A and B are shown apart, each in its own frame.
Chain A
Amino acid sequence: MNFPILSSLILLPTVGALFLFFTKDKEGNNSTAKYVALFTTIVNFLISIYLWIYFDQSTSSFQFVEDRTWIEGFINYKVGVDGISILFIILTTFITPLCIISVNNSIKNRLRDFLIAILIMESFMIGVFCALDLVVFYLFFEAGLIPMFLIIGIWGGPKRVYSAFKFFLYTLLGSVLMLVAIISIYWITGTTDVVQLYELGIDAKYQNLLWLAFFSSFAVKTPMWPVHTWLPDAHVEAPTAGSVLLAAILLKMAGYGFIRFSLGLFPVASEVFTPLIYTLSVIAIIFTSFIALMQEDMKKLIAYSSVAHMGFVTLGIFTLQQQGIEGSIIQMISHGLVSAALFLCVGVVYDRMHSRMINSYGGIVTIIPKYSILFMLFTLAALGLPGTSGFIGEFLILMGAFKDNFLVAVIASLGVILGAAYMLWLYKRVVFGKLNNEDLKKMFDLNRSEYLILSCLAVPTLFFGFYPDPLINTIEVSVTDLINMHNTNIASK
């Protein structure tokens, strides 16, 4: 196919942003800008669905590939998708319109600028998942910092400056080492094209250092313990739509990076460092679950739960088992949906009460029943109840882990119990119990747009919980191939 469908996916939001840029910024009612942004992102979503329909699930090679000379004799602009990346692209294009619908209540000033930032962010995020050249990947990966920094800094809460700086500098510090590694790969092999690198392989003696450099970037972004501290701050201060993007998509860039680059490019080093990843993942699962139990702030609690869930993801990836990696991908997709929904749920009550503290709520089930039902659904999905997408992911990851390392799997399973504990306790304290705060009675139930967003997220959460086949079929061949490639590489070294 000749039509550059992936480039149009990447560019379309930017075009929408440009369009918004040239419209007049009106204070107050600015629905035109919102409709333009919404229209752009929905068209983008439809394109990505079209992509999924025409995606050939029977091959693991990259599809819809575009390859253009970018810097003569050095870098090609190369994009393409395989079974692993296509789901993340769809997740991105699915979440972004929901974010845009959600800005109705939370963003009061400079709505147009906010929408521009979100649209540009979408371009960069899609770019990250499409890129098949290390330099192109790095470009998109880093460029995403700019809009996110502004989203947190301009529209965030009271400690926004501190959080925005922490987010930016942490991530940048991790990433510069990756840049050194990327240039070194070019110096060692003479190319930065991922497909060629898969075929060429990288000399085993360089792999450990290169792996560590990539790890430093992905570990910060995932985030793994002990470099996770930027995440709670960023989540708490970011506006709801920002938190949603951050939790649902930005964190997935790192998981995706681990699968695509750490496993694919450095098989030997991945084996060497598996114990390190296991240790950090298990610490993340157990330790941050305990921290989550102690939180007073709902957003912070969900942020820590994200760290724990991403711990499962990294654990699953490095089991190097079919189930483990598939589970990780499904867990990432599911976490994308569920954490987005949970942040939106917090956003709903925050917009009404202007408090995120758990103890200022309680007994709201009788006042806003619709909200309580949906919140319940996502709480259960977050703790991995069978019948929700969260279960499939965690189950497959643990299955993979049991095959690889019994002890690690047992400890990680404890994390599932802790997850249930903090999520259910959160739900109990917020929704059930006595109605102590009189102000809560003034709360009104979900309005139309909130209802729409949360239902949109609830449908796939349940659907993939009962019927994960569409997801598994899409990723299966690519994951099998990745593992085969990994095993042959290990065997030959």
Chain B
Amino acid sequence: MIPAQHPQTSFWNDTGKTGIASWIFSTDHKRIGLLYFYSTFGFFLVGVLLGLLLRLELMAPGRTIMGAATYNAVFTVHGVTMIFLFILPGLPGGFGNLIMPIQVGARDVAFPRLNLLSWWLYIIGAAIVLVSLFTGGGPPDTGWTFYVPFSARTGTNVTLAVFGVFIIGFSAILTGLNFITTIHRLRAVGMTWGRLPLFTWSLYATAWVQVLATPILAITLALIMAERTLGTGLFDPTRGGDPIMFQHLFWIYSHPAVYIMILPAMGVVSDIIPVFSRKPIFGYKMIAFSSLAIAAAGSLVWGHHMYTSGMSDTAVLVFSFLTFIVAIPSAIKVFNWVSTLYKGSISLEAPMLFALSFILLFSIGGLSGLILGAAATDVHVHDTHFVVGHFHYVMFGGTGFAFFAAMHYWLPKFYGRRYAEKPAIVAWALMFTGFNILYFTMQVLGMQGMPRRYYDYLPEFATLNLVSTIGSWILAVGLVIMLVNLFRGLWWGAPFTGNPWGGASLEWSIPTPPPTENFLEEPVVTHGPYEFASLKNDGTV
């Protein structure tokens, strides 16, 4: 399936295999990147559909389109799909694979076969999760957190779903190992650590979290399986177990996982903002350092999910303190992005609009996170819609919008064709508006006391819930326009050649679409990724 006639050297032409085998057995990082992109994005659309159904149910009090049990299953599958099948692998697996090896000046990742295995493990895990929905006791209804004791007792198909996620964990670990090795060993001549693009820096920090934290998720999920099938009693207090220990184990991984989701998104934004401001990035070293600081400090704050769990007051104090520390490197990034914009020659094209929305939405999400990180205020809003609004601001407003920015910024490079600008901006405006109506309302509802994870609510919450649901429709309309415009453009749009954005990192120095081994001749790097003065008059690097 070739979207347009490309030069013989393009990776679309040169495979050696034919048909679907040239994709699913390819060890080319670009093909694997596109496989990851389409599979994760497919699951994103499934997640969106489930999210819209949830909002439809909450449009009015009482039963609207589904009952309590169905609602529980739908929000669980929405969460599992979005987190494990889309956000976690989406940016590292998709755009990380597509872009990182080119940005460091390599022909491929360090272990191309392992890379393919990572994708296969992801697909096998995802298939098992899908099978779990239709077999056994039906889709799990525990929420994506699989908290015991409920997850150990429910009759739904938790064991199989958890096993699927367990396998996906291995895919993440292998991708992390591959990326760390590639960035250490395969950098081109002259590509010093101080010349690495910030997207690659963020993937490097992410990869360490993937390698160090994911095994703990795998162990935790294995313990749920053991609890359900062998009755080990590890989390059962009547048999000497400790249910809070499950929450510790789960969040030891799942909080750092938030940084696996957000760090690459920050990398995308750090790469896009200087290009569309026509100005070198402000504070390169501090942005790179803050990625590592976020990865390190973010791994030590999991207890802030557990303030109301019955954990000791000392632990609450320690975790609350550590949580506030993470705000520092996050703020360093935000201030540096804003300083980059200052006195820049800003060009408001679609990738830039999505990147700018990231800064605003992530900041709202981050600041509401401080309300949750402070133990005293968290007790009031714990398990309310405030939390739902907060993490959607960070994960969707943050990572989601950065993902869309990356789609508009980098995908034309791989297809050699581009989308139409005006519909992309209309789509962005609709999504941005719909997003805020949808999730800001949720934060207000949470402050008023509306709990999360119930299909019904008190009549006084009716108006704002209706508003929130209308927001979800505006967002969905924007999303559809964006997708139609983007993919129609990539397949049949105007040619995209040379370096139209004016980027100075290595991916803009190679032909469009990239050749099979990326570089026609071995690159020698002589300048940093944001030194736009190095661009020649014709825009080439």
Q: Is A bound to B?
A: no
Measuring CB to CB, which residues of chain A are less than 8 angstroms from any residue of chain B? none
Measuring CB to CB, which residues of chain B are less than 8 angstroms from any residue of chain A? none
